[in-house]
Amino acid sequence: MIGSRSVAFPRLNAYAYWIFLFGGSMIYIAFAFNSAGDAGWFAYPPLAGPEYSPGKRIDFWAQMITFTEVSALLEAVVIICTVFKLRAPGMTLNRIPLFVWAMLVTAFTIMFAMPSVALASTMMIMDRLVATHFYNPGEGGDALLWQHLFWFFGHPEVYLIFMPGLGFISSIIPTFAHRPIFGYTAMVLSLIATGFLAFGLWVHHMYATNIPELGKSFFTAASILIAVPTAVQIFCWIATLWTGRLNFRTPLLYVLAFFFILVMGGMTGLMLASVSLDSQVHDTYFVVAHLHYVLIGGAVFPLFGAFYYWYPKFTGRLMAERPGRWSFWLMFAGFNVAFFPMHLLGLQGMPRRVYTYQPEMGWASLNLLSSVGAFIPGGRHLPHAGECAAQRAQR
């Protein structure tokens, strides 16, 4: 895409890949050895600390994510150096494809987000193994310190997943609209603004903590603000489609689905940015619905579109259009049947992270509908085998 023969530092690139594969697969292999992390993906102390999660599960988890953190950091170095130093003559930064811009901004975001979680997880390992007290308020530590460090990574992480998706969309649309993208400069500036603003939002994951209320309102404003650069990109894409000659092949269908689903997830995101609304629906299925609309809409649908779009380039063969459409419509319908009811269940107060509920709550039919929908795209949330740390602590 930038006219170079290879990436900068090919060995570093390979190393980053192999430790990612190792760390990533060990997290899953841990299930087979009954030693998988069981304090949620966010691993809040004190739940994940030595007192409430004895044994090796969290140690193993924290060590393995360190591998993926290192891998991401190394890969960011490779991408940044490749884009800055190895472009072909004449391939100036204002000519590189928007996908390359998306990956460049993603790489910079990784550089600032990953050290935060690497620090947090290392401190967690030390609290557990050598009895430091970073997260232990009883000895002068602070449990909220974890939440700050974790979400300072965790919110940009959402955009790390989402921004390559924006790059896919910007690659697919010009091809099937038969015209160059509308507003290249605005798109680039929006990407950079997204990467930058992503660091000012982390406290919206902590509205239920005892942080001062005035501080929380700043994060409400910032969370609403980040909708602007995404909206600019959506308008540029719509303008491109509007003025183009459209060819509705499978990749473009995934792009249109992305618009529908991501905008809905963005709308519930704006709602959740408000402290008062968020406090009402905190830890309910409304949040679960929101995060699936933004992440599946913002990353998985573009990824499928990109797969259908680039498969002929990888293999030299076109894919059949008819099964592609079937697969698209099944996925689109299944996704909405699975996740739309969760908005309603959340507003009715159904809590997250509890695997069952009493029949008199009246949530059964929407849950059944949601389960049926989940089977359609073939994904299925398996009931958590065994007892998780949260339930243990509750007992």
Residues that bind Cu ion (CB under 5 A): 155
| CB nearer Cu ion, residue 155 or residue 249 | 155
| CB nearer Cu ion, residue 153 or residue 182 | 153
Backbone angles phi, psi at 67, to 5 degrees: -60, -45
Q: What is the largest CA-CA distance in the chain?
A: 69
Rg (CA), the chain: 22
Whether the CB-CB separation of 135 and 45 falls below 8 Å is answered with: yes
Residue nearest to Cu ion (CB): 155
Minimal distance in Å, beta carbon 103 to Cu ion?
A: 21
Alpha carbons 177 and 211: distance in angstroms, whole number: 48
| CB nearer Cu ion, residue 62 or residue 272 | 272
Minimal distance in Å, beta carbon 163 to Cu ion?
A: 14
Minimal distance in Å, beta carbon 235 to Cu ion?
A: 23
Minimal distance in Å, beta carbon 270 to Cu ion?
A: 12
Whether the ω angle into residue 46 lies within 30 degrees of 0, i.e. cis, is: yes
Whether the CB-CB separation of 320 and 276 falls below 8 Å is answered with: no
| CB nearer Cu ion, residue 155 or residue 290 | 155
Minimal distance in Å, beta carbon 205 to Cu ion?
A: 5
Minimal distance in Å, beta carbon 37 to Cu ion?
A: 21
| CB nearer Cu ion, residue 152 or residue 363 | 152
Minimal distance in Å, beta carbon 269 to Cu ion?
A: 8
Q: Which residue has the tokens 């901004």?
A: 105
Alpha carbons 68 and 73: distance in angstroms, whole number: 9
Minimal distance in Å, beta carbon 353 to Cu ion?
A: 18
| CB nearer Cu ion, residue 173 or residue 287 | 287
| CB nearer Cu ion, residue 201 or residue 241 | 201
| CB nearer Cu ion, residue 20 or residue 162 | 162
**205 Cβ neighbours under 8 A, 6+ residues apart:** 147, 151, 154, 155
| CB nearer Cu ion, residue 109 or residue 240 | 109
Minimal distance in Å, beta carbon 264 to Cu ion?
A: 17
